[in-house]
Chain A
Amino acid sequence: AQTVTQSQPEMSVQEAETVTLSCTYDTSESDYYLFWYKQPPSRQMILVIRQEAYKQQNATENRFSVNFQKAAKSFSLKISDSQLGDAAMYFCAYRRITSGTYKYIFGTGTRLKVLA
């Protein structure tokens, strides 16, 4: 069975600094999606970034980038130039690509605090 592990329950970062959130996963599949979702307090969960496993290039979205290490089954999120609005719970998630299977597996989350 697939699992997703986030070993950092909470992280803090100074405004304008860089922080990296860790995620590891376990799967026997070769093709899959990995995601980072952001859940601000009392607000809608939104997609931050997505990575397809067959793509070797790390995904980037503005200040957000990932370090995808397929062999190590590691998928960390780097937030550069942290802003107060980045404070939120961040969830790492996995989904198989195989047609007919659309269940997502989430990690336990990392609460990110941004210090002014």
Chain B
Amino acid sequence: EADIYQTPRYLVIGTGKKITLECSQTMGHDKMYWYQQDPGMELHLIHYSYGVNSTEKGDLSSESTVSRIRTEHFPLTLESARPSHTSQYLCASSVGPNTGELFFGEGSRLTVL
């Protein structure tokens, strides 16, 4: 199994709360990604990072923000959660360019009431 960890696995919170989803990997990968996925649906890239202090927005617009201060850590923050943010958030990492494989965490399922 890949060494990439997400916490919390499940979170139920009220509207307006600030939340941070944690993602850590112990593989030394430079590239890290956040995907948003509704149950049983496709993945949408919302943020990615190619290294420390490098972050970019993905293809799906998101009100969340990310930071990459350390190679192994790529947290995602929502300043004020809304019901429309209810979804599963998947963190992933890769080492490129020659191996290609994405390694995924187990996901954080967020429900905003």
Identify the A interface with B (CB < 8 A): 33, 35, 37, 43-47, 50, 52, 89, 91, 93, 95, 97-100, 102-104, 106-109, 111
Contacts and interface: CB of A to CB of B under 8 A. Distances in A.
Given A44-B1, A44-B106, A111 B40 contact: yes
B2 interface: yes
Chief secondary structure at chain B's binding surface: loop
11 contacts: A44-B106, A44-B107, A46-B104, A47-B102, A91-B42, A98-B97, A99-B97, A102-B48, A103-B45, A104-B102, A111-B40
Contacts of B12: none
B105 A103 contact: no
Nearest to A43: B106
Contacts of A35: 100-102
